[in-house]
Amino acid sequence: MNWLIKHFERYKQRSPWDFCWRIAVEGTVLSLLAATVLALILGGPQREFLEWPMWVIFLVTVLIGPPVETLLLQALPVFVARKLKASFRVQVIVSLVVFTACHIPEGFITTISAGMVGGFYFAFTYVHWRQKSRWTAFWVTALSHTMHNGIAVGLLAVLGR
């Protein structure tokens, strides 16, 4: 467990852009890995939005979703936690729980892979950069979330959904 703490401590030393793209790639790889393993064990997810045209999926999940979710599922919970003088870890947990809960309607596999795994990375990102400024926390989190979803949607398009 100590190696994991050290791993994320090293992220805190990075510049915003370097942090952003690295956390996006790492979070995406782990989310996709979790989704793949769970889908193999439990069977593939049945998601209605996969019936939508690809341009709608792109619009909703890559362009609209990340900034809206950053505001509602990272900024707002972290704001409340900070007002209550919560520690860094508690702020991450609060954001993670809210983000995960909002992904429950999408099914178990998505709740774990996107909600918990992706949600951890977005919560960690927001809380870390919020210590510097609201704007940096917002853009680094929203952009890493956009990159994460963009990779997933790109793979969906290439693999034929």
Query: What's the pLDDT tens digit per position in 15-71?
Result: 999 999 999 999 999 999 999 999 999 886 555 556 788 899 899 999 999 999 999
Residue in 21, 33, 41 with CA at minimum distance from that of residue 155: 33
| pLDDT of res. 158 | 85
Residue 83 to residue 120: CA distance in whole angstroms: 21
Q: Where are the alpha helices (DSSP H) in 43-118?
A: 54-58, 65-69, 76-83, 88-102, 108-110
Query: What's the pLDDT tens digit per position in 120-152?
Result: 999 999 999 999 999 999 999 999 999 999 998
Residue 6, pLDDT > 60, answer yes
Q: How many CB atoms lie within 10 A of CB 49?
A: 11
Query: What's the pLDDT tens digit per position in 82-104?
Result: 999 999 999 999 999 999 999 99
> Is the Cβ–Cβ distance between 136 and 149 less than 8 Å?
no
Q: How many CB atoms lie within 10 A of CB 97?
A: 16
| pLDDT of res. 75 | 98
Per-domain residue ranges for the chain?
2-158
